[in-house]
Homo-oligomer: A and B are copies of this chain.
């Protein structure tokens, strides 16, 4: 997945102490970037018995800092997923997943990046689980009737949310992907989603599917601090969210919102506090398959978030409003080209800078799927 971001206009640089236009999702949005590799993933999977299957995914998109002096080097291999799925019944409706895997919170978080239309996940939903994964145990249950609807949608070419369950219940370390656990408490997460066929509502809804659901998490987290260590205080990090998706045939709508409280840097007291947070997104998309030159999918997404970003040093407050208009073109099955225009207004994820930055960007992404 290669990207090229260009500023049309906006606050690409700023005096010290003032926010520059940066995104927690794409470090190549800055004043001196060229091409970047956002994801270089390699996955291995296999069924090793009737009941046990394995999945291992690594990413070559990780940088290691402090190399020559304080310089960083890019593209080291780091683990994303490493889990075993143990089926508790023969029909594989109930599975226990052990290892590092996605945390069942937020529909968009669980959807694979290769299936997502927008370039990045939304700040509001992703702030619950930056990196989307953690180490733990999770049980997934999918009734056969739900699996049938998803299989039908998949055959139709819809962008589903992946190989998870309709219901998920899990415990995780809760400190974040690839971080050393800091307390013996566990994060508890619950997730439910249910697709409804709308055929009964009349001819206009022939074949349409609406999926609704929600998720909730209870956690305590210790953010990293400016002096190079980890906060000794475990902050409450509790949330609940809702999601709804009308699959595009040909017009779709997708929306998520979540509310809660979590660690956030308080400028007045110059310390991290547990504070309220909320935000989400609304997205519209159109599917235009064609036989001759591949599928086209124009989309528009508006997102909003007010709250802390726990994965960054000192859990800085984000204040995001963004509109993204994009077009995804899939000339062959293996290749996707996305061009997007984004109008962003963001606070930089650095508690030492204040205010918000604005800008207009043209972003392009070429994605090839392994």
Contact = CB atoms under 8 A, between A and B. Distances in A.
- Stoichiometry, as copies per complex, reads 3
Interface in A26-58: 28, 31-37, 40, 42, 44, 46, 48-49, 51-52, 54, 56, 58
A114 interface: no
A183 interface: yes
The range of chain A's interface size is 35 or more
Contact of A98 (B2, B32, B173, B184): B2
A335 B74 CA distance: 32
Interface in A48-89: 48-49, 51-52, 54, 56, 58, 60, 62-79, 82, 84, 86
Interface stretch (A174-182, A192-200, A236-244, A271-279): A174-182
Contacts of A78: 60, 73, 75-77
Contacts of A254: none
A242 B33 CA distance: 31
Interface stretch (A141-149, A343-351, A362-370): A362-370
Contacts of A370: 44, 46, 48, 54, 56
A235 to B, nearest CB: 15
A135 B2 contact: yes
Interface stretch (A104-112, A223-231, A280-288): A223-231
Given A37-B100, A64-B67, 16 more contacts: A32-B182, A34-B174, A34-B184, A40-B79, A42-B56, A49-B335, A54-B370, A58-B77, A68-B228, A68-B313, A69-B226, A71-B179, A75-B82, A75-B178, A84-B368, A98-B366
Interface of A: 2, 28, 31-37, 40, 42, 44, 46, 48-49, 51-52, 54, 56, 58, 60, 62-79, 82, 84, 86, 98-100, 135-137, 172-174, 178-186, 224-230, 313, 332-335, 366, 368-370
